[in-house]
Amino acid sequence: MFRINMSHLSRDDLRERVAMVRAVEERVRTPVPVLVDLQGPKLRVGTFSGDKAEINVGDTFVLDDDPSPGDAKRVHLPHPEILSALEPEHVVIIDDGKLRLVVEDVVPGKKATTRVVVGGTISNRKGVSLPDTQIPVSAMTPKDRSDLEAAMDVGVDWVALSFVQRPEDIAEVKKVTRGRALVLAKIEKPQALTRLDEIMEISDALMVARGDLGVELPLERVPGIQKRITRGARRLGKPVIVATQMLESMITAPVPTRAEVSDVATAVYEGADAVMLSAESAAGQFPIEAVSTMDRIAQQVEQEELYWTIIASQQAEPEATGSDAIAAAAHRIADTLGINVICAWTSSGATAMRIARERPNSTIIALTPSRDAARRAQLGWGVHPVMTRDAHDVDDMTFRACKFAVRTGLAKVGERVIVVAGVPFGTPGATNMVRIAFIKQEHADAA
């Protein structure tokens, strides 16, 4: 999947980037999803006389509503909503953790008097993070709304929302997307952790945004949070992406550090649906090497016996639905018979995602007539989407499932595949059938 960061892109450039991806998709004949990552609110201090100032540990430093240039005693905070929300003992982090203040006194809406606990140079428009403060602002700014409409116009598949604090933030985006794209919650604020279950429930997917989490929370807490989100998303059957600094050194080096390799492998061992590159591929000197390195790490982990032991130990019980019962049955049959391919006929992609929740040691071929469903399902663990017209009867369903298993190179003549579908065909949410099929020469000839 390609992620497009709207923090660095205009609407016209968005259209151009999406067109590039669609051209690649046509060439490789594989559904390629596009994720648009909305910028979210950017909280920053104002400006300083001389562009910067030195503040020292123990100093008193004031954040206020006065727009005049700041100095070593005070600076403008052009966010009245923050000045209204801050309370004594709240921590204020500036410049990605380089400076840390603790609020001592507040005049709501006017100023906050703080004590400097980590000092240094503070300069113009540095970012502000508030790990203790519930900020009464929408996760979507006017820019985000404009970018979101542009993203809908060009037909992106996923929308990532930054600055999520509450489930209502996701609901707000869904009112705009209206099913035209799925919505992914970036977990990067401590406030989101207090309502994490609700946020996961309403979201279509999750991202562990470790960079921002590591600024607002003690670094040592981030790995545990990563595991909590990864396992919670898997329990719900929703894709989860582990992101930020995975191969950071490859921005300037052709090979990663051993610690970075271990970090990527850990995310794969945890059962994450995806691992993400950002600066490594967007601005780095070795983007192809970074992608191929990440791919090799993931493939190697999945060949390890220990990997499947860990995956099995985290297996969630099926929910009491027909689709989950069928998905669990397909998983058990695949394990019992050593079948490498599960073919899932799906109109929305949901059937493939429920099978992916099971984490079978089999590739899941998602057969769908919907281009949107094919692109969206690509994010799912082990899912290989194929676009094709819907089946018109059981024999057609079985024949074409076997044909595509051969065409994709995932199975060959003499092997068996599992076919999962819903009858009547083309009815979303009607998954109610599982079948074992033998691949014959006629299937290979048709492929």
Distance CA 430, CA 351 (A): 9
Distances (CA, A) of 262 to 151, 247, 272, 338: 35, 10, 14, 30
Active site residue 29: no
Active site residue 403: no
Active site residue 115: no
Among residues 74, 100, 126, 186, the one annotated as catalytic is 186
**How many other CB atoms are there within 10 angstroms of residue 435's CB atom?**
16
Among residues 47, 133, 230, 244, the one annotated as catalytic is 244
Among residues 11, 15, 22, 44, the one annotated as catalytic is 44
**How many other CB atoms are there within 10 angstroms of residue 389's CB atom?**
10
- Looking at this protein, which amino acid is placed at residue 389? R
Cis check for the bond before 424: say yes or no (omega within 30 of 0): yes
Q: Which residues does 208 contact at the CB level (< 8 Å), separation at least 6?
A: 187, 225, 226, 229, 230, 240, 241, 242, 243
Complete DSSP assignment for 318-386? PPSSHHHHHHHHHHHHHHHHT--EEEEE-SSSHHHHHHHHH--SSEEEEEES-HHHHHHHTTSTTEEEE
DSSP letter assigned to residue 77: -
DSSP letter assigned to residue 423: S
Active site residue 346: no
Distance CA 205, CA 238 (A): 5
Distance CA 154, CA 19 (A): 9
Catalytically active residues, by annotation: 3, 44, 186, 244
